[in-house]
Amino acid sequence: MAAVRTLIAALAPAFLLAGLATPVAAQMLSEGTEFLRAIEKRSEDSSKVTEILNVPGATVINARDLTSGRTALHIVVADRDASWLSYLISQRANVNLADNQGVTPLMLAVQIGYVEGVEALLAARARVDVTNSAGETPLMFAVHSRSTEVMRVLLQAGADPDRRDNSGRSARDYARLRGANDITNDVLTRFERPASQRAGSATYGPSF
């Protein structure tokens, strides 16, 4: 019996922690859901968002929707809300968090042709050559939609027109498929940066 009591005493802390883990996780999940709901309803009551973020130790700024994986940044970008985009960035929202489809806020801004959002996210160090689950980059999305102004912004930020997706095609390839006279080819030629100055050209480790 003494041995059994000793074993129970040794395992008690582990059982206690296991019992506490679920309520703590549930609380964090609830706070994240509440925050995203407040973001969606910010036009009705913006004070709710700031109230949540001003709680000491709050970590909900990067909360993700359980179903879609969307963050607060995805929500305000989809609404083309420049003021709230700027505010969330100032609160250190992670501009590179992707949803469940691998779509980042930058990709979303490109897809809807939201130039101001693209510029703001790039200024906040969004990865210009980030890829989704299909290997597609923001520049590819811009070429597909013929968003020439978005293409210009991405290229000047160092987007690589020769980076390939999972099918083996690059943004340049997709532009050429539109025909030699398509405006996307002209934009690529005029605004692409030299290979050494593109976002993916950095090298790591010692140089000799």
Residues 27 and 96 in one domain: yes
On whether residue 120 sits in a domain, the answer given is no
Please check whether residue 193 lies inside any domain of the structure.
yes
User: Is there a single domain that holds both residue 81 and residue 141?
Assistant: no
| Domain containing residue 82 | 21-101
Residue 122 lies in a domain: no
Closest alpha carbon to 112 in 64, 145, 83: 145
- The Cα-based distances of 192 to 73, 106, 184, 198 in angstroms read 28, 19, 12, 8
Q: Is the dihedral of CA 154, 160, 162, 163 positive or negative?
A: negative
SS (H, E, C) 159-208: CCCCCECCCCCEHHHHHHHCCCCCHHHHHHHHHCCCHHHCHHHCCCCCCC
Of 57, 84, 101, the residue that ends a domain is 101
pLDDT in tens, 99-127: 999 999 999 999 999 999 999 999 999 99
Write down the residue that tokens 């959002």 correspond to: 117
CATH of the domain at 44: 1.25.40.20
Same domain, residue pair 25 and 97? yes
Whether 159 is covered by a domain: the verdict is: yes
pLDDT bin (cut points 50, 70, 90) of residue 202 is very low
Tell me the per-residue pLDDT of 75-104, one tens digit each, with 9 for 90 and over: 999 999 999 999 999 999 999 999 999 999
Where a domain ends, among 66, 101, 136?
101
Tell me: the pLDDT tens digits for 182-194?
A: 999 999 999 999 9
Task: State the total domains in the chain.
Answer: 2
